[in-house]
């Protein structure tokens, strides 16, 4: 429509101009042709007169009734010569042809001939009137009136006019046609150019039919992108990170390319229940972080369909729109048999890689059969990525230790894809990693990534050293890149975070006092209880045992807390099929019982172990009700529980007790940092937290809240995507340089 308007806007003035031109040009043309023909007719008249002058002279000298008449009649046989009349010098008509108009006399003829446009209008048409002297050696002795037919001039003038109109119309049509074609081409080219620019294809497409223009277009495109990138980078750090900024970044920096997330754990699990299908959110830091990013980016999330009703809700392509009822992005579910899950997930990922990467003093177990399943499932997910990709260069966000082999598998099929792999757990030192029988395969698989992200610089350093130890790769420490088999991978730290709650969301929360009342009532706590909470998956890396020991020690050391200090541990069941987890969970149960036996009394139970999944609202209520949040991981990539606690405390009260072995300890320095292995130290920290004056709590909490609000999950994703954009730019420049060199 828009293009039609544009063309009309051009074409209407063009048509008007042409009509006006024709209107002016035609009479001018008429006049010109008439003038040319009048001159022509005069010459002819003179010729006729000269040709007849001898006959006229001899006839006047010896008059003969018929001779001159015969000569005149013969002369007017010429089709254009209409009539001839002979006048004496005193104006008498001496002789004339039969066609000579009877009403015309010599004086009248002379009068007509003297006019600039000598024409005599008769009934059948117009005549050109010419009066020419008939000369002899003695001078002029008579005058000849020559009347010539003008109709042929009119015919010619009409022909000329017709040709002129055809010419102007043809010219107009040609110009209009060229205009329409050029407008169409350039509009399409412009639109697709802009689209292409957003998609990274730039201005090449409009010139694709013109090979000579391609290098110029590419050059232009590259310059534009450079400018664009510079501009964005110069604006970058000022604005806060939020979904809009992330979306804008995707649109501009990455030109709206498709985003595909791959993780083992799915963000929404459909389960069968007595009341029908229910949707559950898993307890997973990974899901907590990636889900808001995915909602902002749309795209497709590929994950294992592990819920009992998962198959019932997907479409023919195993897709289901999520969040339920909002359908902001597509969840593509991958199926696996129990045996495959046992080998890939429970076996290699959670009995092998998980303890390998966490220094929690649990021995990794490596089985050949698990490794085979791990490889096969990685390939299945990689194939799904390729199948979901709409183009050859999607942005693939690979999550965690379940998919160490997938980056290289995707790279093999989609060499132009931008693969960002994020390792959500720690990376051990080379010696520890070296015990994995397939260490080289794992490293090779991971180096299929464009960018490899860890939470901390320390994990990056460990990874680079591990590669250095086990692979033949070129490492550029200055740029933090590893080049392996001609492909470079950027190894960078991106501290993960949470989505900071919106004002609308936090306004809807129950008040702190209400949360406290609810928790005290539900758990039957003393009204003046000092409440400490721990919220974790029931995992041996979380330091749950160590914190129970610290609580026990506190009650031992400071009996004044007995009856008042309460520790609430939420432990979401996880990986329960594994013996290591089951025995750990049983052990925690036993220690809890022991402490409660030792220090409990009627109306007071020091430890409340809630070994069940809690939904976000319940967790939030506990965070708002408590005085201390305890995070004592023995080793943790980041740990998001501490960040969620801080986000929940809009009253700026409450104390965070945080393990120095969690990645979060590097950012959240205002927490009480502890070594969870040191029971005494942790017990003292619990006391310090429980007695911290409100003013100090406020100071620490306000600062922590500022850190987490700014360093939110959109910043995490944004920084990775900015680096990916920069990386793509660098690759484009390199390709250009190579092309120029090749030329
Ligand atoms: C950690 C891992 C995640 C995992 C989560 C829950 O945070 O880094 O990849 O999803 O634990 O564990 P699960 O095995 O239940 O998915």
> What does the mean pLDDT of the chain come to?
88
* DSSP-derived 3-state class of residue 624: helix
- Which residue, 113, 142, 115, 143, is CA-closest to 130? 113
Question: Is the predicted pLDDT of residue 14 greater than 80, yes or no?
Answer: no
Q: What is the pLDDT of residues 79-93, one digit of tens each?
A: 778 888 999 888 888
The string of DSSP letters for 345-412 reads IIIIIIIIIHHHHS-SS------HHHHHHHHHHHHHHHHHHHHH-SSS--EEEEESGGGSSHHHHHHH
Terminal CA-CA length for the chain: 43
More confident residue, 169 or 228: 169
Ligand 1 atom closest to the Cα of residue 350 is 14
The residue whose CA has the least distance to atom 12 of ligand 1 is: 284
- Which residue, 80, 92, 180, is CA-closest to 126? 80
Question: Is the predicted pLDDT of residue 197 greater than 60, yes or no?
Answer: no
Answer yes or no: are the C-beta atoms of 170 and 92 closer than 8 Å: no
Question: Is the predicted pLDDT of residue 140 greater than 60, yes or no?
Answer: yes
Task: Give the H/E segment covering residue 559.
Answer: none
Judge residue 213's burial from the number of C-beta atoms within 10 Å of its C-beta, 0-12 exposed, 13-18 middle, 19 or more buried: middle
Question: With bands split at pLDDT 50, 70 and 90, how would you rate the model's confidence at 34?
Answer: low
pTM: 0.70
Q: Which residues contact 212 (CB under 8 A, 6 or more apart)?
A: none
Mean pLDDT on 719-732: 87
Residue 283 Cα to ligand 1 middle (Å): 8
Q: What is the pLDDT of residues 243-296, one digit of tens each?
A: 999 999 988 877 778 999 999 999 999 999 999 999 999 999 999 999 999 999
**What is the per-residue pLDDT for 227?**
67
The residue whose CA has the least distance to atom 11 of ligand 1 is: 284
Question: With bands split at pLDDT 50, 70 and 90, how would you rate the model's confidence at 723?
Answer: very high
Q: Which residues contact 296 (CB under 8 A, 6 or more apart)?
A: 243, 246, 247, 714, 717
The residue whose CA has the least distance to atom 10 of ligand 1 is: 284
**What is the per-residue pLDDT for 3?**
45
Question: With bands split at pLDDT 50, 70 and 90, how would you rate the model's confidence at 6?
Answer: very low
Mean pLDDT on 29-55: 79
User: Which of 269, 285, 664 best tests ligand 1's pocket when mutated (most atoms within 8 Å of CB)?
Assistant: 285
More confident residue, 605 or 146: 605
More confident residue, 159 or 696: 696
Residues with CB under 6 A from ligand 1: 265, 284-286, 400, 424-425, 537, 574-575
Mean pLDDT on 426-447: 98
Structure tokens that stand for 514 in this block: 């209400």
Residue 286 Cα to ligand 1 middle (Å): 6
The residue whose CA has the least distance to atom 6 of ligand 1 is: 284
Residue 695 Cα to ligand 1 middle (Å): 37
User: Which of 424, 577, 641, 664 best tests ligand 1's pocket when mutated (most atoms within 8 Å of CB)?
Assistant: 424
Q: What is the pLDDT of residues 639-664, one digit of tens each?
A: 999 999 999 999 999 999 999 999 99
Question: With bands split at pLDDT 50, 70 and 90, how would you rate the model's confidence at 12?
Answer: low
**What is the per-residue pLDDT for 198?**
42
Mean pLDDT on 48-58: 83
Ligand 1 atom closest to the Cα of residue 574 is 15
Rounded-to-integer distance, Cα 573 and Cα 219, Å: 57
Residue 354 Cα to ligand 1 middle (Å): 10
CB atoms within 10 A of CB 464: 21
Answer yes or no: are the C-beta atoms of 251 and 262 closer than 8 Å: no
Site of tokens 């015969």: 70
Q: What is the pLDDT of residues 337-347, one digit of tens each?
A: 999 999 999 99
Site of tokens 């990467």: 357
Structure tokens that stand for 209 in this block: 């039919």
Residue 344 Cα to ligand 1 middle (Å): 14
Residue 541 Cα to ligand 1 middle (Å): 12
Q: What is the pLDDT of residues 401-420, one digit of tens each?
A: 999 999 999 999 999 999 99
Residue 248 Cα to ligand 1 middle (Å): 30
Rounded-to-integer distance, Cα 161 and Cα 167, Å: 10
Question: With bands split at pLDDT 50, 70 and 90, how would you rate the model's confidence at 166?
Answer: confident
Measured CA distances, 518 to 101, 391, 569, 611, 648 (Å): 127, 52, 16, 19, 16
User: Which of 350, 355, 400, 427 best tests ligand 1's pocket when mutated (most atoms within 8 Å of CB)?
Assistant: 400
Residue 574 Cα to ligand 1 middle (Å): 9
Mean pLDDT on 577-601: 98
Ligand 1 atom closest to the Cα of residue 349 is 14
Mean pLDDT on 585-610: 98
Name the CA dihedral angle for 349, 350, 352, 356, rounded to a multiple of 10 degrees: 110
Ligand 1 atom closest to the Cα of residue 345 is 14
Answer yes or no: are the C-beta atoms of 459 and 426 closer than 8 Å: yes
The residue whose CA has the least distance to atom 8 of ligand 1 is: 424
Angle between helices 243-252 and 285-297 (to 10 degrees): 60
Residue 287 Cα to ligand 1 middle (Å): 8
> With pLDDT > 90 as the criterion, what percentage of the chain qualifies?
64
Q: What is the pLDDT of residues 42-51, one digit of tens each?
A: 888 888 888 8
**What is the per-residue pLDDT for 203?**
42
Residue 718 Cα to ligand 1 middle (Å): 22
Question: Is the predicted pLDDT of residue 700 greater than 70, yes or no?
Answer: yes
Residue 32 Cα to ligand 1 middle (Å): 94
**What is the per-residue pLDDT for 552?**
98
The residue whose CA has the least distance to atom 15 of ligand 1 is: 574
The residue whose CA has the least distance to atom 16 of ligand 1 is: 265
Measured CA distances, 88 to 85, 91, 94, 110, 706 (Å): 10, 5, 6, 12, 122
Q: Which residues contact 659 (CB under 8 A, 6 or more apart)?
A: 543, 631, 632, 633, 634, 636, 639, 665, 673, 674, 675, 676
Question: With bands split at pLDDT 50, 70 and 90, how would you rate the model's confidence at 206?
Answer: very low
Residue 305 Cα to ligand 1 middle (Å): 15
Ligand 1 atom closest to the Cα of residue 400 is 9
The total number of residues written for the chain in this structure = 743
Residue 634 Cα to ligand 1 middle (Å): 16
Question: Is the predicted pLDDT of residue 179 greater than 90, yes or no?
Answer: no
Mean pLDDT on 291-306: 95
Ligand 1 atom closest to the Cα of residue 283 is 6
Question: With bands split at pLDDT 50, 70 and 90, how would you rate the model's confidence at 430?
Answer: very high
Cα 432 to chain centroid, rounded: 42
Ligand 1 atom closest to the Cα of residue 401 is 9
The residue whose CA has the least distance to atom 14 of ligand 1 is: 575
More confident residue, 687 or 34: 687
Ligand 1 atom closest to the Cα of residue 425 is 8
Question: Is the predicted pLDDT of residue 188 greater than 50, yes or no?
Answer: no
Mean pLDDT on 302-326: 98
Instruction: Report the half-sphere exposure of 407 (CA within 13 A, side-chain side).
Output: 30
Rounded-to-integer distance, Cα 467 and Cα 472, Å: 8
Residue 124 Cα to ligand 1 middle (Å): 107
The string of DSSP letters for 456-523 reads SHHHHHHHHHHHHHHS--EEETTTTEEEETTEEEEEEE-----PPPPHHHHHTSPPHHHHHHHHHHHH
Rounded-to-integer distance, Cα 354 and Cα 428, Å: 11
Rounded-to-integer distance, Cα 646 and Cα 652, Å: 8
Question: With bands split at pLDDT 50, 70 and 90, how would you rate the model's confidence at 195?
Answer: very low
Q: What is the pLDDT of residues 107-124, one digit of tens each?
A: 888 888 888 777 777 766
Please give the order of strands across the beta sheet that includes 139-149: 93-96, 81-88, 139-149, 126-136, 119-121
Residue 499 Cα to ligand 1 middle (Å): 18
Question: Is the predicted pLDDT of residue 622 greater than 50, yes or no?
Answer: yes
> With pLDDT > 70 as the criterion, what percentage of the chain qualifies?
87
Ligand 1 atom closest to the Cα of residue 637 is 8
């Amino acid at each position: 429509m828009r293009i039609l308007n544009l063309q009309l806007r051009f074409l209407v003035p063009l048509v008007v101009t042409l009509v006006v031109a024709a209107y002016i040009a035609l009479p001018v043309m008429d006049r010109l042709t008439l003038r040319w023909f009048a001159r022509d007719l005069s010459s002819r008249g003179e010729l006729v007169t000269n040709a007849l002058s001898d006959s006229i002279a001899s006839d006047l000298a010896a008059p003969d009734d018929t001779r001159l008449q015969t000569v005149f009649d013969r002369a007017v046989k010429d089709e254009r010569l209409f009539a001839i009349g002979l006048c004496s010098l005193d104006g008498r008509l001496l002789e004339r042809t039969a066609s000579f108009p009877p009403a015309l006399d010599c004086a009248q003829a002379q009068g007509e001939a003297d006019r600039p446009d000598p024409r005599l209008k008769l009934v059948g048409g117009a005549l050109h009137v010419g009066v020419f002297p008939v000369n002899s050696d003695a001078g002029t002795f008579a005058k000849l009136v020559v009347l010539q037919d003008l109709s042929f001039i009119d015919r010619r003038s009409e022909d000329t006019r017709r040709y002129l109109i055809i010419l102007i119309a043809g010219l107009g049509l040609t110009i209009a046609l060229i205009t329409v074609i050029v407008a169409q081409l350039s509009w399409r080219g412009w639109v697709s150019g802009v689209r292409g620019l957003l998609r990274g294809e730039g201005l090449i497409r409009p010139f694709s039919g013109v090979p000579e223009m391609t290098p110029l277009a590419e050059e232009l495109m590259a310059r534009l992108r450079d400018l664009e990138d510079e501009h964005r980078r110069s604006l970058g750090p000022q604005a806060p990170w939020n979904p809009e900024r992330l979306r804008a970044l995707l649109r501009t920096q990455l030109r709206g390319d498709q985003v595909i997330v791959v993780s083992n754990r799915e963000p929404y699990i459909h389960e069968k229940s007595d009341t029908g299908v229910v949707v559950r959110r898993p307890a997973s830091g990974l899901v907590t972080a990636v889900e808001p990013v995915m909602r902002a980016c749309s795209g497709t999330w590929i994950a294992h369909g592990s819920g009992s009703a998962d198959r019932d809700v997907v479409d023919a392509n195993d897709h289901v729109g999520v969040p339920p009822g909002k359908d902001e992005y597509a969840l593509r579910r991958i199926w696996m048999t129990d045996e495959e899950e046992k080998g890939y997930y429970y076996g290699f990922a959670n009995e092998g890689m998980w303890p390998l990467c966490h220094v929690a003093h649990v021995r990794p177990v490596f089985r050949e059969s698990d490794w085979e399943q791990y490889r096969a499932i990685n390939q299945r997910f990689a194939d799904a990525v390729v199948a979901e990709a709409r183009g050859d260069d999607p942005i693939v966000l690979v999550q965690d230790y379940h998919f160490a082999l997938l980056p290289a598998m995707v790279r093999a099929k989609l060499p132009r894809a931008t693969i960002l792999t994020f390792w959500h757990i720690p990376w051990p030192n080379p010696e520890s990693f070296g015990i994995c029988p397939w260490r080289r395969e794992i490293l090779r698989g991971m180096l299929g990534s464009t960018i490899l992200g860890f939470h901390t610089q320390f994990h990056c350093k460990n990874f680079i050293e591990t590669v250095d130890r086990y692979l033949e790769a070129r490492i550029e420490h200055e740029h933090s890149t590893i080049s392996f088999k001609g492909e470079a991978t950027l190894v960078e730290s991106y501290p993960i975070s949470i989505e900071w709650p919106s004002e609308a969301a936090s306004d809807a929360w129950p008040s702190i006092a209400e949360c406290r009342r609810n928790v005290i009532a539900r758990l039957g706590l003393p009204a003046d209880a000092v409440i400490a909470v721990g919220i974790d998956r029931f995992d041996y890396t979380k330091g749950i045992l160590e914190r129970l020991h610290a609580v026990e020690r506190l009650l031992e050391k400071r009996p004044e807390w007995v009856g008042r200090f309460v520790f609430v541990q939420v432990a979401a069941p996880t990986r329960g099929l594994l013996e290591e987890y089951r025995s750990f969970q049983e052990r925690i149960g036993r220690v809890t019982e022991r402490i409660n036996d030792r220090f409990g009394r009627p109306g007071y139970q020091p430890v409340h172990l809630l070994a069940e999944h809690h939904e976000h609202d319940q967790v939030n209520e506990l965070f708002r009700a408590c005085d201390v949040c305890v995070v004592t991981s023995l080793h943790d990539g980041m740990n998001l529980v501490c960040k969620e606690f801080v986000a929940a405390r809009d009253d700026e009260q409450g104390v965070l007790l945080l393990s120095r072995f969690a990645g979060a300890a590097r950012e959240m320095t205002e927490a009480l940092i502890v070594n969870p292995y040191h029971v005494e130290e942790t017990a003292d920290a619990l006391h310090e937290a429980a007695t911290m004056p409100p003013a100090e709590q406020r100071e620490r909490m306000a600062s922590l809240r500022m850190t987490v609000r700014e360093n939110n999950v959109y910043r995490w994703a944004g920084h990775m995507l900015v680096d990916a954009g920069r990386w793509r730019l660098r690759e484009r420049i390199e390709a250009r340089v190579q092309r120029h060199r090749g030329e």
